[in-house]
A and B are shown apart, each in its own frame.
Chain A
Amino acid sequence: MDQSDNQLIAAALAGSLPAWDALVRRHERRVYNLGLRLLNNPDDAFDLVQDVFLGVYRNLYRFRGESQFSTWLFRIVHNKAVDLIRRRQSGPEIEDWFEEGTPEPANDLPGPLDSYLETEMNQRISQFMSRLPPAQRLIVELKVFQALTFEEIAPLQDIPVNTAKTRFYTALKNLKTMIEAQT
């Protein structure tokens, strides 16, 4: 029988490595795929996973169970992702992309972590995402893939709800233009 997040957390806090392992396995895939879409690079996505769960490990004793673990986890994911995007700035801004014409693949060299490239659709989507400005990229990720409401997104990004909606609308328009340019 599957244990709940809170049971796994309690066991991990008591020093159980299998419980910690199970907790990470349960949530790592979501974090990894978010990293792939936001960072467009499997190595960076893997770095994000490790950063996130190291942060979770260090702060797990602070988790009081007042909210869902996934919500608490996602705050850490969001902050780490913003940090990584700022550091890497993996793609040119959308305006630059239109001037450059056809985009180059983000990573030409095959590697052991390039399994995400197996699906052409994933590659296209992560390329589109990486060409959005970071703020728009995060809004799309939070809204479309994480299914957060704009009332939840706004405080995460420290912006008003209307600004979040406008930013999302602009991102959709940019994505639409990219999709049309590729077809």
Chain B
Amino acid sequence: MSCPHTPEIIADHCDADIPPEVLKRHRVHLDTCKVCQQELISLRGVPGELLRWQSIPLPDWDRSGMVKSTSRRKTFASRSYQWPTIRQWLPLVASLLLAVAVVTQTRLSVGPQGWSVSFGVPSGGLSAEQLDEYLTAHANTLQTETRQWVEAALQTHGQITADSIYQWMTYIEQQRALDVQRMDAGFDQLMNRDFQTVDTVRQLASYVMYQEAP
């Protein structure tokens, strides 16, 4: 059998500063609760038993030893105005260096000529100008190939008939399929480059859509 008030009553009984109203409430409860009465009677002597402890003096020791050993480096007064040590600054400096390295895209590479540090976009990347040149050259190549094919077809078939037009159209379709395959290969190559080429990929995609538009 237990009472939920027992821990509080026993604890408060050991508290010299218990408020009178709490004490009164506990007394009213104790009048009717046999469990709390028995627990109070049983445990009230325990703190007194513990307080029979006899204070023991400390063995002699060098109380100023810690001051002497520490004050060679720092005094009480100087601690208040002390600048942070290099060890305290080190994490902040390291963080700043890392942040600068990330922002400037610093690259550390090892080659046959030793270590080298480079900043910014790597020289191997595809620039916007290079892409324009590439697209222009590709368009010129396509136009030249188409012109050559048309001339060859006219020489082969002489007159335009229904059959020759059909063959011509078939050939054009094949050429278009070939172009798309080339573009796919170009996409794959570009997608393997770093993130900055994504913009150029988008340009290339719009160019392909333009080429395939009727």
Contacts and interface: CB of A to CB of B under 8 A. Distances in A.
A94 interface: no
Contacts of A170: 7
Q: Which of B6, B59, B68, B76 has the most CB of A within 10 A?
A: B76
A50 interface: yes
A28 B79 CA distance: 24
Contacts of B68: 17
Given A53-B63, A125-B52, A165-B8, A29 B46 contact: no
Contacts of A172: 10, 43, 46-47
Interface in A111-126: 112-113, 115-116, 119, 121-122, 125
Contacts of A53: 63, 66
Secondary structure at the A interface, as helix, strand, loop or mixed, is: helix
B7 A179 contact: no
Contacts of B42: 176
B11 interface: yes
A52 to B, nearest CB: 11
A33 B76 contact: no
A29 B61 CA distance: 12
A68 B168 CA distance: 103
A143 B14 contact: yes
A54 interface: yes
Interface of A: 12-15, 17, 20-21, 24-25, 28-29, 32-33, 36-37, 46, 49-50, 53-54, 57-58, 60-61, 112-113, 115-116, 119, 121-122, 125, 128-129, 140, 143-145, 147, 149-150, 162, 164-166, 168-170, 172-173, 175-176, 179
